[in-house]
Structure 1
């Protein structure tokens, strides 16, 4: 393998409960990409008792976005474990500052290919999140946190999607359908990535 080849990164964005995690697990299974969930990395860091743990916990509970460099460094460390693989980065970048920090710190290290955007109505996502919250144990799957997460998504994440859209680097998929129908569209997209 050519050691100069950078790992390919695909950003996976969509509102909370739009199906990002479900679709990522299918992509991993079929295409062998590594799934990195920014939220999972932050929750792991939060539980580790590190210097950032308490700050991350407070910000996640309030539906706020953790400082970009913290999240970028967690993602960078995870990617550098095996730079020969390709990655799905789920739930990041969540705002313009996240994206700027990523571009500044990661452009020389990875090939950020495109944004896979799952489009789903807020009402559907709310139902999904409340259903998940009943069994997941996630502190942010309650109606107060969900409302805050939607506000953050619409005000801060959607402009990032639009930014990449202006570069023709967004593949938008309607995720208000059965999982397998959504994945049929996803599969076609990743077959062209190879």
Structure 2
């Protein structure tokens, strides 16, 4: 049976149901903070696998499975997909991919997600990579990249910012209080942002080595 000591031993590492040990980094940042670009760089330079909770949900819907139908119906009705559903998809993806190092992008979206993830998986993230960017800069970027995307109008963008501040910032604050947040100034040019990211990831490589 797991004890408090075992739980402490799990710090920063977790074991999946198939016995595989994994290292998880949560990647958080507002819409337009550049998370996707930097995740691609981290995958290329540091050998992590990139998991997006949103992509996994969309793939499950496309698969036509019973689970996918349930997810689609919930989204249609404007309901939030239960944390456990998203977590099980993340867990399954980590078991299916031949890698031990994972970037989980855009999750946990809120405190309930965070608590459920730790409870269901027993995994404590190595750290949280937080792309800190001003709303003005994120708004400018989103409007510049607007290629007819419906969700890229100014009102919708501002709503997304509001949701991010209300839901995701408390998650960042929770991990910050535990010394697990690595904050990146994401308002700088892409190359400079990646230099800061490299410093963070090089330090965990040194620790592992």
Do Structure 1 and Structure 2 share a fold, with TM-score over 0.5? yes
How far did 1:153 drift? Answer: 0.6
Q: 1:82 to 1:177 in 2, by over 3 A?
A: same
Q: 1:76 to 1:145 in 2, by over 3 A?
A: farther
- Whole-angstrom distance in 2 between the partners of 1:114 and 1:151: 24
1:72-103 per-residue CA deviation (whole Å, 9 max, x = no partner) reads 12211111113642000010101010001101
Q: 1:5 to 1:192 in 2, by over 3 A?
A: farther
Q: Which runs of 5+ in 2 are unaligned?
A: 1-17
Q: Identify the residue that residue 38 of structure 1 maps to in structure 2.
A: 53
Match of 2:75 among 56, 71, 78: 56
Q: Which runs of 5+ in 1 are unaligned?
A: none
What count of residue pairs does the alignment treat as equivalent?
A: 184
Match of 1:149 among 135, 157, 160: 160
Q: Identify the residue that residue 13 of structure 1 maps to in structure 2.
A: 28
After superposition, residues 157-168 of structure 1 pair within 5 angstroms as 157-168=168-179
Structure exhibiting the larger radius of gyration computed from Cα positions: 2
Q: 1:131 to 1:41 in 2, by over 3 A?
A: farther
Would the aligned equivalents of 1:7 and 1:83 in 2 still touch at CA under 8 Å?
no
After superposition, residues 179-194 of structure 1 pair within 5 angstroms as 179-194=190-205
Q: 1:128 to 1:23 in 2, by over 3 A?
A: same
- Whole-angstrom distance in 1 between the partners of 2:60 and 2:126: 27
Cα RMSD between the aligned structures? 2.1
SS in 1 for 2:125: strand
- Whole-angstrom distance in 1 between the partners of 2:50 and 2:152: 21
1:133-168 per-residue CA deviation (whole Å, 9 max, x = no partner) reads 316x5x533333322211111011000000000000
Would the aligned equivalents of 2:130 and 2:172 in 1 still touch at CA under 8 Å?
yes
- Whole-angstrom distance in 2 between the partners of 1:140 and 1:47: 21
Would the aligned equivalents of 2:127 and 2:181 in 1 still touch at CA under 8 Å?
yes
Match of 1:125 among 126, 134, 138: 138
- Whole-angstrom distance in 1 between the partners of 2:88 and 2:19: 21
